[in-house]
Chains A and B, each alone.
Chain A
């Protein structure tokens, strides 16, 4: 199994450009998440989804949009990129449950906005 796959792995954008990050999971997980990782700040939740067709805001949602049209895919969009969005982005998924829930992570996307 591939687990959680993110594409692309690296990207450089100019300020004002748009792009979409794709996350795909093959574990039939209900929950999916997008985080950004910045030095000294850990991982901060951008948006998440509790199931196909649903999305919700996390801690730092401004400047990002998401969609979950298919259960296995969770897309993160930047409509007008800003230098403050330079970061490493991680997608994760988790099964629904109370006791055995854990988050499974992709390898990350390193985004630089110049």
Chain B
């Protein structure tokens, strides 16, 4: 079965600093990959998705992710963190319309 690993359950950055959230997948066949964001007491909202068209994927709110097959990684980045980015982020893999989620990374943004 597909699995997704997120390194770091909590990440803290200062406002304006680089955001880097790590995600690795385990599959011999690269799956479709996603990043979702969850704000407190809300459902999950899609940030971006990789569907093999391009290895660098741009999403909403200035986030982007790069697919690296050699590293089986799909890390999420944002050049400059805003206070409004504080949330929990989930990496997910789609394997034949079944979505597998990582354990999540809570992003804290310090003023």
B42 an interface residue at 8 Å Cβ cutoff? Answer: yes
A27 an interface residue at 8 Å Cβ cutoff? Answer: no
- Report yes or no: A105 in contact with B98, Cβ–Cβ below 8 A: no
B51 an interface residue at 8 Å Cβ cutoff? Answer: yes
Q: What chain B residues lie within 8 Å of A44 (beta carbons)?
A: 101
- Report yes or no: B90 in contact with A107, Cβ–Cβ below 8 A: no
The A/B interface has a contact count, at CB < 8 Å, of 60
- Report yes or no: A50 in contact with B43, Cβ–Cβ below 8 A: no
B102 an interface residue at 8 Å Cβ cutoff? Answer: yes
Interface size of A by CB at 8 A reads 27
- Report yes or no: B43 in contact with A48, Cβ–Cβ below 8 A: no
- Do A94 and B42 form a contact, CB below 8 Å, given A42-B90, A42-B102? no
Question: A8-56: which residues lie under 8 A (CB-CB) from chain B?
Answer: 31, 33, 35, 40-45, 48, 50
Q: How far is the CA of A104 from the CA of B46 in the complex (A)?
A: 8
- Report yes or no: B43 in contact with A108, Cβ–Cβ below 8 A: yes
- Report yes or no: B102 in contact with A96, Cβ–Cβ below 8 A: no
A92 an interface residue at 8 Å Cβ cutoff? Answer: yes
Binary interface encoding of chain B residues 80-111 relative to chain A, with 1 for a CB under 8 A from any of its CBs, else 0: 00000000001010100111111110000000
Which of A31, A102, A107 meets B49, CB within 8 Å?
A: A102
- Report yes or no: A94 in contact with B97, Cβ–Cβ below 8 A: yes
B44 an interface residue at 8 Å Cβ cutoff? Answer: yes
What residues make up the interface of A, taking CB atoms closer than 8 Å to B? Answer: 4, 31, 33, 35, 40-45, 48, 50, 58, 90, 92, 94, 96, 99-108
What residues make up the interface of B, taking CB atoms closer than 8 Å to A? Answer: 6, 9, 32, 34, 36, 41-46, 49, 51-53, 90, 92, 94, 97-104
